[in-house]
Amino acid sequence: MLKWCILRLYQVLALALCVSATDDFDWTKNERTSFYYGTFPTGFSWGAGSSAYQTEGAWNIDGKGMSIWDEFAHKKGKIHSNDTGDSSCEGYYKFKDDISLMKDMKMNHYRFSISWPRILPSGLKSEHINEKGIKYYNDLINMLLENKITPIVTLYHWDLPQVLQEKYGGWQNVSMVNYFNDFANLCFERFGNRVKYWITFNNPWSVAVEGYETGAHAPGLKLKGTGAYKAAHHIIKAHAKVWHTYDMQWRSKQKGLVGISLTADWGEPVDITNQRDIEAAERYIQFYLGWFATPLFNGDYPQVMKDYIGRKSGQQGLGASRLPVFSPQEKSYMKGTCDFLGLGHFTTRYITLKNYPSGIGDSYFADRDLAELVDPEWPDPGSEWLYSVPWGFRRLLNFVKTQYGNPMIYVTENGVSEKMLCTDLCDNWRMKYFKDYINEMLKAIKDGVNVKGYTAWSLLDNFEWDEGYSERFGLYYVDFRNKNKPRYPKASVQFYKRLISSNGFPNQREVESWKRKAVETCSSSNQLLAADPLIGHMEMVTEIVVPTVCTLCILLSAVFLMFLLRRRL
């Protein structure tokens, strides 16, 4: 009888836990409300982002070592049009110009990344510190601060030193944890008196899945079903270690924050009343965002990942799960190691259950047992995968709030691309994307989500990884044909600038006037850009024709002189 009572008690408790867990995020209610006019909390931070390999260029300058992206992009057939980031936007030389662009837009922050091999060419702190690399980032940080722009600095935006990949297998090897910690510690030491916002990793999902599972990104490995889980495991450990290093050695002096930037699409159940669709959608999010966020906020992988990968590994006849396991010590070491969550978000999918029988096709994707669908009505302005679905952003933000205890959030990436051949600077679809996504973020803040800042992706058109220069995310258009890589404002620059100065959307009349004014100015920018090949041509005249003519003149005078001398003789 007592036994039965205790059992009942457990059941009731379990039920209560279950109820509160499902109570957390209401999958069955997707309110899509009309545009919300209003402003953001005072002190809300507006900015734009970039990353080292995508913008700096100068890939072999001033003692920089090779990264896995230098190596990968130099291989033919990996990148669209065999493009490389060798010169990209020449950001290494033009950062002062870029800071004036930001200043003109009255941005509060700028998010950029430090290239690990620019500072540690061999990857190892014990071997060689490249002071010229340090100086570049010092100059950049100082200039930002002089212009009252807060630097938000990413330590790892995908450019692992090539040596560490070649010699040790990169993120497949747990020794990256210590090497990365040494690099991060050096950055805290040299820059931490001025940098107060640190992001350890940018979008580790992509590093793990595209770097080590599909091979679409550097280092291009295809270790299906295991590579991504292993890489992610080491990345999570590395993040935790770096957070503890900061916490123990630097926090009391420098008073900054250390977070991570996770990118996730939203997954909406195809049928909001179907429990199996809801579960599939939740798996989609847990395998995406939860994979990294749950260990760092709650101390272990999401239960659903452990269940699914464990079961499938068993069916394959493996003795252990392909998902690595954290020890109890590691769990408590990891838990609570995010001072804030950086969130990157671009698009949404509809999700439904789809069973993948275990067997030859074992992979991260098959492990999830789901199918992704899109609504053909969704606008698809640029990149193939990027459908504009603003309401998904509010859903994702609310999900984060419920799952991880309402953490402080900085949106670290949000934006939309356009196709290569589009040289129209009047980017109406981007203005609409920003307007609607930022509005859904505002609604999420009204819902109680703790969003502190927003980072438009990206400041400039840049090297878009395996897509090369064929997809442009920039607020500013960069003319990559021209050696000087001139920047031209798209209409969205004017739009975003007005949004920043109003700290939101004051009223309908005003917001509509922004769009009108933005389109007026972009037509003149269009004319400038159209004249650009001409300017490029003129540069060719000065750089090639003038020296050639001069050389010819000198030669001719020499011949003439000789001729004169001969006649004298």
Ligand X SMILES: *[C@@H]1O[C@H](CO)[C@@H](O)[C@H](O)[C@H]1NC(C)=O
- Provide, rounded to whole angstroms, the least separation between the CB of residue 372 and ligand X: 29
* C-alpha to C-alpha distance for 74 and 84, rounded to whole angstroms: 7
**Interface pick for ligand X out of 63, 169, 310, 379 (rule CB under 6 A):** 169
- Provide, rounded to whole angstroms, the least separation between the CB of residue 150 and ligand X: 36
Contact 341, 260 (CB under 8 A): yes
Interface region with ligand X, contact rule CB under 6 A, candidates 74-82, 186-194, 273-281, 311-319: 74-82
Task: Report the sign of the C-alpha dihedral through residues 177, 178, 181, 186, in that order.
Answer: negative
Instruction: Give residues 179-198 in contact with ligand X (rule: CB under 6 A).
Output: none
Phi, psi of 81, rounded to the nearest 5 degrees: 60, 20
> Closer CB to ligand X, residue 54 or residue 84?
84
Interface region with ligand X, contact rule CB under 6 A, candidates 26-34, 73-81, 275-283, 373-381: 73-81
* C-alpha to C-alpha distance for 257 and 151, rounded to whole angstroms: 12
* C-alpha to C-alpha distance for 157 and 217, rounded to whole angstroms: 12
Phi, psi of 406, rounded to the nearest 5 degrees: 50, 60
- Provide, rounded to whole angstroms, the least separation between the CB of residue 225 and ligand X: 18
> Closer CB to ligand X, residue 87 or residue 450?
87
With binding defined as CB under 6 A, does residue 126 bind ligand X?
no
Using CB under 6 A as the criterion, what x/- string covers residues 31-70 for binding ligand X? Answer: ----------------------------------------
- Provide, rounded to whole angstroms, the least separation between the CB of residue 474 and ligand X: 23
**Interface pick for ligand X out of 168, 333, 356, 429 (rule CB under 6 A):** 168
- Provide, rounded to whole angstroms, the least separation between the CB of residue 80 and ligand X: 7
With binding defined as CB under 6 A, does residue 324 bind ligand X?
no
Cis bond leading into 100, ω under 30°?
no
Tokens of 196: 């107060």
Contact 179, 226 (CB under 8 A): no
Instruction: Give residues 76-115 in contact with ligand X (rule: CB under 6 A).
Output: 76-77, 81-82
- Provide, rounded to whole angstroms, the least separation between the CB of residue 301 and ligand X: 23
Contact 323, 229 (CB under 8 A): yes
- Which residues are the active-site residues? 413
Cis bond leading into 219, ω under 30°?
yes
**Interface pick for ligand X out of 87, 122, 138, 173 (rule CB under 6 A):** 173
Interface region with ligand X, contact rule CB under 6 A, candidates 169-177, 266-274, 323-331, 500-508: 169-177
* C-alpha to C-alpha distance for 352 and 447, rounded to whole angstroms: 27
In three-state form (DSSP H/G/I as H, E/B as E, the rest C), the secondary structure along 505-551 is ECCHHHHHHHHHHHHHHHHHHHHHHHCHHHHHHHHHHHHHHHHHHHH
Q: How many residues belong to the site for ligand X (CB under 6 A)?
A: 8
> Closer CB to ligand X, residue 65 or residue 302?
65
**Which residue's Cβ has the minimum distance to ligand X?**
175
> Closer CB to ligand X, residue 163 or residue 264?
163
With binding defined as CB under 6 A, does residue 421 bind ligand X?
no
Contact 507, 37 (CB under 8 A): yes
Contact 34, 390 (CB under 8 A): no
> Closer CB to ligand X, residue 124 or residue 134?
124
The distance from CA 117 to its chain's CA centroid, rounded to whole angstroms, is 19
- Provide, rounded to whole angstroms, the least separation between the CB of residue 402 and ligand X: 39
> Closer CB to ligand X, residue 169 or residue 379?
169
E strands of 234-297, at which residues? 257-263, 266-269
* C-alpha to C-alpha distance for 352 and 372, rounded to whole angstroms: 7
Tokens of 491: 């209409």
Instruction: Give residues 459-488 in contact with ligand X (rule: CB under 6 A).
Output: none
* C-alpha to C-alpha distance for 293 and 64, rounded to whole angstroms: 33
Interface region with ligand X, contact rule CB under 6 A, candidates 126-134, 166-174, 317-325, 540-548: 166-174
Contact 433, 381 (CB under 8 A): yes
Q: Which residue, 234, 231, 236, 199, is CA-closest to 218?
A: 231
- 198 to each of 72, 154, 191, 279, 299, how far by Cα in Å? 27, 6, 10, 34, 21
* C-alpha to C-alpha distance for 213 and 287, rounded to whole angstroms: 14
Tokens of 406: 């309402």
Interface region with ligand X, contact rule CB under 6 A, candidates 63-71, 128-136, 168-176, 532-540: 168-176
> Closer CB to ligand X, residue 76 or residue 255?
76
* C-alpha to C-alpha distance for 514 and 124, rounded to whole angstroms: 50
> Closer CB to ligand X, residue 169 or residue 299?
169
SS3 26: coil
- Provide, rounded to whole angstroms, the least separation between the CB of residue 173 and ligand X: 4
- Provide, rounded to whole angstroms, the least separation between the CB of residue 79 and ligand X: 9
**Interface pick for ligand X out of 30, 39, 175, 551 (rule CB under 6 A):** 175
> Closer CB to ligand X, residue 136 or residue 469?
469
Interface region with ligand X, contact rule CB under 6 A, candidates 34-42, 167-175, 296-304, 511-519: 167-175
With binding defined as CB under 6 A, does residue 75 bind ligand X?
no
Which positions touch ligand X (CB under 6 A)?
76-77, 81-82, 168-169, 173, 175
